[in-house]
Amino acid sequence: MTNLNRYRFYSVLFLLLAGITSACTEPSNNQKSDQPVVNIQPTANNRVPGEYLVTLTASGNPESLRSVFNAYGVKAIREFSKGRYLVVLEHDPGPEEIAERVAASTDIVRVQPNFIYHGTTPK
**Ordered structural domains, the chain, with CATH:** 39-120 (3.30.70.330)
SS3 60: coil
For the question of whether the overall pTM of this predicted structure is more than 0.75, the answer is no
Mean pLDDT by runs of 10 across the 123 residues of the chain is: 66 62 54 48 75 92 91 94 94 92 91 86 74
Return contacts of 72-79, CB within 8 angstroms, 24+ apart: 75/50
